[in-house]
């Protein structure tokens, strides 16, 4: 019996790539709001923290932010698997137990976020405990993803690790390759969390001050780790400089710096737009790094295309509906006069 051939792309590569970059950026926005928001709530200098209206609003929204993060994370993962199927699956198999534990970590974190939002005794320490444990679990997920997705770019290393250990307990040993990337992502989340704290608390001097501090210093540290990540690319860096990624990276730096000005003057619409586009440019840059790392090993542009348009039309339809519903929910939640329990 001849097995079916699955070695093809169900849509043109450019379309899959565009959808991957857009959905991954949306996932990062939701994830940064969640992780950065939790960090700002736990360690921001709020007076009477758990009774503060902005803190209460954030804690109430965290479960929905987790749902949005997970939902928006499915599409980019599927698009990545479409484009780099063998590398992605192989990397996940090598670290199989760590990968599978991500599901349990997300479920427990989700439960704890609901516990924090529904806690009726915030002054007795339940909320900080729930949020701290949930944050630790989310950081675990981020480390595992950074490790696995970095291995996608090292097929030879995947083969070596699998030959040495076939129990699914191998972790990416080249931490120097994804440490700066991970730190850049975490402090980027702190930056975005600070932006949203300042936006939600724009009419509250204390909340805006807390958000401004996280936004400013988060961006400074994020930039430092971003430079460290670029330098850690080694031989891939000169090649990156000769791709369109250098223009995306330059635009991202300019927009990030410009967003500070608009944020400090409380013009949140242009600040948020510039921050969002800058995140997209970072995602684009990371995509080119992956292509450069796999040069001579795998080229997705050589994979044959057999379009399955009905599937993509359904995806686009429901994706747009989901974004519209999410936007409507956020407008309802942050509507003027909305009271927080």
pLDDT at 341: 39
Name the E strands within 56-194. none
Q: What is the pLDDT of residue 123?
A: 56
CB 340 within 8 A of CB 62: no
The model's pLDDT over 37-86, given as tens digits with 9 standing for 90+, comes to 999 999 999 988 888 999 999 999 999 999 999 999 999 999 999 999 98
Distance between the two ends of the chain, CA-based, in angstroms?
A: 63
**Residue 167 pLDDT exceeds 60:** yes
- Could you tell me if 192 and 40 are in contact, meaning their C-beta atoms sit under 8 angstroms apart? no
Q: 59, 41 in Cβ contact below 8 A?
A: yes
Domain membership of residue 323 (yes or no) is no
Contacts 24+ apart (CB under 8 A), 182-187: 182/142, 182/143, 182/146, 183/225, 183/228, 184/222, 184/225, 184/226, 184/228, 184/229, 185/28, 185/142, 185/146, 186/35, 186/139, 186/142, 187/218, 187/221, 187/222, 187/225
The predicted model gives 193-212 an average pLDDT of: 94
Residue 326 falls within a domain, yes or no? no
Whole-angstrom Cα distance, residue 127 to residue 49?
Answer: 11
Q: Quick check: is 277 in a domain?
A: yes
| Residue pLDDT, tens place only, 224-282 | 999 999 998 888 999 999 999 999 999 999 999 999 999 999 999 999 999 999 999 99
Q: Mean pLDDT, the chain, as a whole number?
A: 90
User: Is the per-residue pLDDT at 337 higher than 60?
Assistant: no
Per-residue pLDDT at 16? 94
Predicted pLDDT at 2: 61
CA angle, 329 then 332 then 335, to 5°? 145
The pLDDT score that the predictor gives to residue 118 is: 87
Task: For residue 40, tell me if it sits in a domain.
Answer: yes
71 membership: H or E segment, kind and range: helix 53-83
Q: Is residue 220 part of a domain?
A: yes
Per-residue model confidence (pLDDT) at position 165:
81
Q: Is residue 7 part of a domain?
A: no
CA-based nearest residue to 248, from 292, 288, 286, 284? 284
337 phi-psi bin (left φ>0, alpha ψ -120 to 50, beta other): left
219: in domain:
yes
Question: Which residue in this structure is represented by tokens 């770019």?
Answer: 153
Domain that holds residue 165: 13-295
Number of folded domains in the chain?
1
Nearest-angstrom CA–CA distance, 97 and 148: 12
Could you tell me which residues come within 8 angstroms of residue 52 by beta carbon, excluding any fewer than 6 positions away?
Answer: 46, 206, 207
d(CA 195, CA 271): 9
Domain assignment of residue 146, yes or no: yes
| Beta partners for residue 9, in sequence order | 305
Taking the C-alpha atoms of residue 31 and residue 65, their distance in angstroms, rounded to an integer, is 8
Task: Return the percentage of the chain with pLDDT > 90, whole number.
Answer: 70
């Amino acid at each position: 019996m001849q097995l079916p051939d699955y070695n093809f792309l169900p849509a043109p590569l450019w379309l899959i790539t565009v959808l991957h970059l857009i959905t991954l950026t949306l996932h990062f926005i939701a994830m940064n709001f969640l992780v950065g928001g939790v960090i700002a709530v736990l360690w921001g200098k709020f007076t009477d923290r758990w009774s503060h209206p902005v803190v209460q609003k954030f804690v109430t929204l965290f479960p929905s932010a987790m749902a949005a993060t997970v939902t928006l994370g499915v599409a980019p993962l599927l698009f990545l698997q479409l484009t780099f199927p063998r590398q992605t699956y192989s990397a996940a198999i090598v670290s199989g137990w760590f990968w599978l534990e991500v599901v349990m970590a997300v479920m427990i974190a989700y439960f704890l976020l609901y516990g924090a939002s529904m806690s009726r005794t915030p002054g007795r320490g339940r909320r900080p405990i729930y949020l701290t444990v949930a944050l630790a679990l989310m950081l675990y997920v981020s480390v595992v993803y950074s490790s696995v997705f970095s291995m996608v770019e090292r097929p030879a290393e995947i083969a070596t690790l699998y030959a040495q250990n076939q129990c699914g307990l191998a972790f990416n040993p080249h931490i120097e390759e994804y440490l700066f990337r991970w730190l850049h992502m975490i402090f980027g989340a702190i930056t975005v969390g600070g932006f949203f704290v300042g936006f939600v608390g724009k009419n509250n001097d204390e909340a805006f001050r807390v958000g401004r501090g996280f936004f400013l210093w988060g961006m400074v540290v994020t930039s430092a780790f971003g430079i460290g990540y670029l330098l850690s690319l080694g031989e891939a860096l000169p090649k990156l400089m000769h791709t369109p990624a250098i223009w995306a990276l330059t635009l991202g730096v300019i927009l990030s710096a410009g967003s500070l000005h608009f944020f400090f003057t409380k013009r949140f619409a242009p600040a948020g737009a510039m921050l969002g586009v800058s995140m997209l440019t970072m995602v684009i840059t990371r995509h080119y790094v992956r292509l450069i790392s796999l040069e001579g090993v795998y080229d997705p542009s050589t994979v044959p295309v057999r379009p399955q348009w009905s599937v993509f039309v359904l995806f686009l339809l429901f994706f747009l509906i989901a974004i519209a519903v999410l936007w409507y929910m956020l407008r309802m939640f942050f509507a003027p006069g909305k009271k927080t329990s």
